[in-house]
Amino acid sequence: MSRAAVLTALGHPLELIDDVEADAPRAGEVRVKMAAAGVCHSDLAMRDGTIPAPLPAVLGHEGAGVVTDVGPGVSTVAPGDLVVVSWVAQCGSCFYCQKGQPELCLQATVAMATAGLLDGTARLRSPAGPLYQALGTGTFTETIVVPEIAVVPVRSDIDPAVAALLGCAVVTGVGAALNTATIRPGDTVAVVGCGGVGLNVVQGARIAGAERIVAVDVHPDKLELAHKFGATDGVLAREAHPVGAVMALTGENGADVTFEVIGRGPTIDQALAMTRRGGQAILVGIPAMDVVLTIPAMVGIVLAEKTIKGCWLGSTDLRRDIPRLVELYQRGELLLDELVSRRIDLADVNDAFDAMEGGEVARSVVIY
């Protein structure tokens, strides 16, 4: 039996359930004893209904743990392996995987939509009945069952709290800079929103060779942290207009590449406005379903020759990029330990949501 933090009603705190059972893995699945799980803004969005999720659901979608059992046909991991759990399973054989876009994997889309495994059913249950697994994962529990294609083995000597963040925040943020965008050495980059993902965009831009990185946020503590990750300038959005400030810093040209990492209509508009003619605006934040962009086609896109590009999981190929990120971390080029603001018990996950909303943390990590 395992503990789990379960969303039973939208907008309500998660409920801690002590007697959750994880089924034995079926063909192509693995059972993982969780060691750590990051608390992401997308979990908060699911709690509040911005991201739809069937209920009752075990939330959490980034984590790391040790494989305890494998189902028939599993060949890439074995019991005892430390693995990173990702909410975007990547089959390697569907249309999008074959096109070199595994972050859009069709099998992962099914799991995310149904909040179950690849067959649409869940492997977790409480005495009251089956529990859905948010985004096909559900890492806010001590034992989970997920598809083999949703885990990537990593070195056993890596701190699980650090490894957990590779499942979402790091691959999304760093990947947005290294995979989704085209950042050239010497470019100026603006990052609107410097939470857990935004900080990784900042350091991804630094790794890509950006000369100037402008961090934009309403919280001064986040701007201070962004400087540690590579930002050269900071704009406190509650005291200065972000667009005007970025334009002033760039000789009124705008940034070569701008990232919006919040998912709100007004900040998306700001990101587009602070992007130079011929530049790129990368939309990383997860907006509500009713957020709509209205852009003057001639002046805003054609004449300006701007590129607006969506970013899903940092355009990441998990099996290619997670080992690369681990290597960058071991070389000291990628900061991961600094992302872990708090190590908490599963019982404290609702407090972690409050800290996130208050802008107090980069990442809270549940330690099992």
One domain for residues 207 and 303: yes
Tell me if 318 is assigned to some domain.
Answer: no
Backbone angles phi, psi at 95, to 5 degrees: -55, -50
- The CA distance from 140 to 60, in Å, is 5
One domain for residues 141 and 23: yes
The confidence score (pLDDT) of residue 109 equals 87
- The CA distance from 348 to 42, in Å, is 17
- Per-residue pLDDT for 182 more than 90? yes
One domain for residues 99 and 141: yes
Assess contact for 60 and 41: CB atoms under 8 A.
Answer: no
Query: Count of domains in the chain?
Result: 2
Strands 275-283 and 307-310: parallel
One domain for residues 206 and 129: no
Q: What is the CATH number of the domain that holds 305?
A: 3.40.50.720
One domain for residues 11 and 146: yes
- The CA distance from 142 to 1, in Å, is 9
Last residue of a domain, one of 270, 296, 312: 312
- Per-residue pLDDT for 169 more than 90? yes
- The CA distance from 120 to 103, in Å, is 19
Which residue's entry shows tokens 């598809």?
147
Tell me if 109 is assigned to some domain.
Answer: yes
The confidence score (pLDDT) of residue 53 equals 83
The confidence score (pLDDT) of residue 123 equals 94
One domain for residues 197 and 143: no
Tell me if 272 is assigned to some domain.
Answer: yes
Tell me if 258 is assigned to some domain.
Answer: yes
- The alpha carbon dihedral of 100, 102, 104, 110 has a sign of positive
Which residues constitute the domain of residue 195? 173-312
Tell me if 92 is assigned to some domain.
Answer: yes
- Per-residue pLDDT for 298 more than 90? yes
Two tokens at 215? 């961090």
Which residue's entry shows tokens 């900040």?
267
- Per-residue pLDDT for 357 more than 90? no
Which residue's entry shows tokens 């750590």?
36
One domain for residues 288 and 191: yes
Nearest Cα to Cα of residue 333 among 325, 341, 344 = 325
The confidence score (pLDDT) of residue 141 equals 97
One domain for residues 271 and 210: yes
Last residue of a domain, one of 269, 296, 312: 312
Non-local CB neighbours of 230 within 8 Å, separated by 6+ positions: 202, 203, 205, 206, 213
* pLDDT per position as a tens digit, 234-271: 999 999 999 999 999 999 999 999 999 999 999 999 99
The confidence score (pLDDT) of residue 356 equals 86
pLDDT band per the 50, 70, 90 thresholds, residue 328: very high
Tell me if 325 is assigned to some domain.
Answer: no
pTM exceeds 0.85 for this model: yes
pLDDT band per the 50, 70, 90 thresholds, residue 98: very high
Two tokens at 333? 């080029």
Which residue's entry shows tokens 């995979």?
179
Tell me if 39 is assigned to some domain.
Answer: yes
pLDDT band per the 50, 70, 90 thresholds, residue 175: very high
pLDDT band per the 50, 70, 90 thresholds, residue 343: very high
One domain for residues 161 and 189: no
One domain for residues 308 and 183: yes
Non-local CB neighbours of 75 within 8 Å, separated by 6+ positions: 148
* pLDDT per position as a tens digit, 116-135: 899 888 899 999 999 999 99
The confidence score (pLDDT) of residue 252 equals 98
Coil/strand/helix, residue 148: helix
Give the Å distances, CA to CA, from 295 to 94, 191, 262, 306: 34, 20, 19, 11
* pLDDT per position as a tens digit, 66-81: 999 999 999 999 999 9
One domain for residues 151 and 238: no
Average pLDDT over residues 128-155: 95
One domain for residues 127 and 270: no
- Mean residue pLDDT of the chain comes to 95
pLDDT, greater one: 55 or 359: 55
Element (H, E) at 262: none
The confidence score (pLDDT) of residue 113 equals 82
Nearest Cα to Cα of residue 255 among 273, 270, 276, 239 = 276
The confidence score (pLDDT) of residue 230 equals 98
Q: What is the CATH number of the domain that holds 355?
A: 3.90.180.10
Q: Which of 44-58, 63-77, 177-191 is predicted least confidently?
A: 44-58
The confidence score (pLDDT) of residue 289 equals 86
pLDDT, greater one: 282 or 359: 282
Tell me if 321 is assigned to some domain.
Answer: no
